[in-house]
Amino acid sequence: MKIGIFTDAYNPVTSGVVTSINMVEQEMKKRGHEVYIFTTSKSIQPNENQTLYMLNSIPLLIAKQYKNRIATFYSREVAKQIKELNLDIVHTQTEFSLGAFGKIISRKYNIPFIHTYHTMWEDYVHYITPIKGRNIRLKRLVRTFSRGFVRKAECVITPSNKTAKYLKYKCNVKNKPIYVIPTGIDIAPFKRSNFTLEEKNKLKESLGISPSDKVILFLGRVANEKSVDVIMDNMPSLFEEYPNCKFVIVGDGPSKKDLEEQAKRLNISDKVIFTGKVPWNEVPKYYNIGDVFVNASITETQGLTFIEAMAAELPIVAKYAPNLSEFIKNGKNGIFVKRNSDFKNAIINVLNDKKLCETLIKNGNETAKEYSIEQFGDKLEMLYSEIIELYKVKKETESKEEKNIQKKAIYKRIGEKLLNLTRIKK
């Protein structure tokens, strides 16, 4: 197959969306398919095996702290190149500039178009306006926009049931198949066996952490919706009971300065370490110096960092959210807290209870295997093939009634195959 991925976010940007796209590209190429990435300028082409097409773009002024870019909605030159490629499927990963371009290309060259809805944008409207009354109207506009974007897609992929329900019930996406396919990760780089004690202690030393110190780890985008401040508020009393602890925040983002100020106000700056952004190939090592992984965010659509932490055999303490409960089972492969003030006791409980810690690590590692890149690839490859077949049937069938019958049959078959692939891997 020749697969066209259309995205506004790509390397060197660090995000869950980019991770997902990298996994699609890596796994589909491994299976012998051709993958073409269409994205904004200023993206990078890491190696000669990647085929990258960049549309002229400018910085996006809204939420500019994320260094997002928006491209022109059409490029005649790239469109001509796409015609020569003879793509089998268009897979959009954004609702904005490159997503619009992907839809245009789909119509122009009669290529089936599917969409992955990664982000529930109404959770981020506070970056546009902090006024609550206006936020409500803006959220309604976001829902209308989301519904309109996926209207012509053959199907929609979401990374979690939470996102699927949001599209169906809040955005009112009806009569459109929505398939939940969690992004898979390559769990191999995160294994503890990849790193010697000497390597881990060397990294600790570079951060000013003693070998005997316990590390409470947050890793991800340092932004308001990640609620790192909630974890920070729990740290003073935790440090009183566990003075040999350090709170390590791995990543960068718009909330970093505020969190540094918060640490000063709480008089714990000497025990809070901000690493800033780290290279992707170094990320697994940072997970492996941790003793407990913490995250208070309730806006995650899937939460890839939780899966990565599980793959690194790191026990998890998280704020309860319905989407996280799809794969985190309280007391089995992670610990949920309901109140913000409960983080301290939950973390200390994990540190003190060796048996509990071992249980969380063992079961968490098994959960990570269920989200392997291989399962992700199996599901996506099958979906691509079925949608291409569906598009072929629609073009060759004249009767509208027969088209609907064939369409329902293929959509049902996709659902059954996804369920079977999930069962096989468990």
Tally Cβ neighbours within 10 Å of residue 424: 9
Parallel, antiparallel, or unpaired: how do β-strands 34-40 and 2-6 relate? Answer: parallel
Task: Choose the final residue of a domain: 127, 158, 185.
Answer: 185
> Is the same domain home to 53 and 153?
yes
pLDDT at 387: 97
Domain of residue 391: give its range: 375-426
CA 310/CA 360 separation, integer angstroms? 9
CA 122/CA 416 separation, integer angstroms? 31
> Is the same domain home to 199 and 220?
yes
Contact 386, 418 (CB under 8 A): no
Contact 274, 259 (CB under 8 A): yes
> Is the same domain home to 382 and 317?
no
From residue 225, alpha-carbon distances to 117, 123, 222, 229, 253 in Å are: 18, 8, 9, 10, 11
pLDDT at 425: 53
Pull the structure tokens for residue 111. Answer: 């290529």
Pull the structure tokens for residue 174. Answer: 């009806």
Task: Kindly give the confidence (pLDDT) of every residue in the chain, 426 residues in length, as a single tens digit, with 9 standing for 90 and above.
Answer: 999 999 999 988 878 888 899 999 999 999 999 999 999 988 776 566 668 999 988 877 655 555 567 888 899 999 999 999 999 999 999 999 999 999 999 999 999 999 999 988 887 765 555 555 557 888 889 999 999 999 999 999 999 898 999 999 999 998 899 999 999 889 999 999 999 999 999 999 999 999 999 999 999 989 998 999 999 999 999 999 999 999 999 999 999 999 999 999 999 999 999 999 999 899 999 999 999 999 999 888 778 999 999 999 999 999 999 889 989 999 999 999 999 999 999 999 999 999 999 999 999 999 998 888 998 999 999 999 999 999 999 889 989 899 999 999 999 999 999 999 886 554
Q: How far is CA 361 from the centre of its chain?
A: 22
Pinpoint the alpha helices (H) of 224-372. 228-241, 256-265, 283-287, 304-311, 343-352, 354-370
User: Which residues are within 8 A (CB) of 81 and not within 5 positions of it... i.e. 6 or more apart?
Assistant: 53
The closest of 179, 176, 180, 183 to 160, measured between CA atoms, is 180
Altogether, the residues listed in the chain come to a count of 426
pLDDT at 75: 93
The total number of structural domains in the chain stands at: 3
Task: Choose the final residue of a domain: 165, 185, 205.
Answer: 185
> Is the same domain home to 92 and 201?
no
> Is the same domain home to 280 and 305?
yes
pLDDT at 63: 54
Q: What is the DSSP letter of 65?
A: G
> Is the same domain home to 214 and 241?
yes
pLDDT at 46: 55
> Is the same domain home to 265 and 125?
no
Burial of residue 128 (number of CB atoms within 10 Å: 0-12, 13-18, 19+) = middle
pLDDT at 303: 85
> Is the same domain home to 263 and 127?
no
> Is the same domain home to 138 and 243?
no
Pull the structure tokens for residue 222. Answer: 């340092």
pTM metric for this prediction:
0.82
Tally Cβ neighbours within 10 Å of residue 263: 22
Pull the structure tokens for residue 181. Answer: 């396919």
CATH code of the domain containing 163:
3.40.50.2000
Task: Choose the final residue of a domain: 129, 162, 185.
Answer: 185
> Is the same domain home to 408 and 272?
no
> Is the same domain home to 327 and 410?
no
> Is the same domain home to 301 and 255?
yes
CA 422/CA 404 separation, integer angstroms? 27
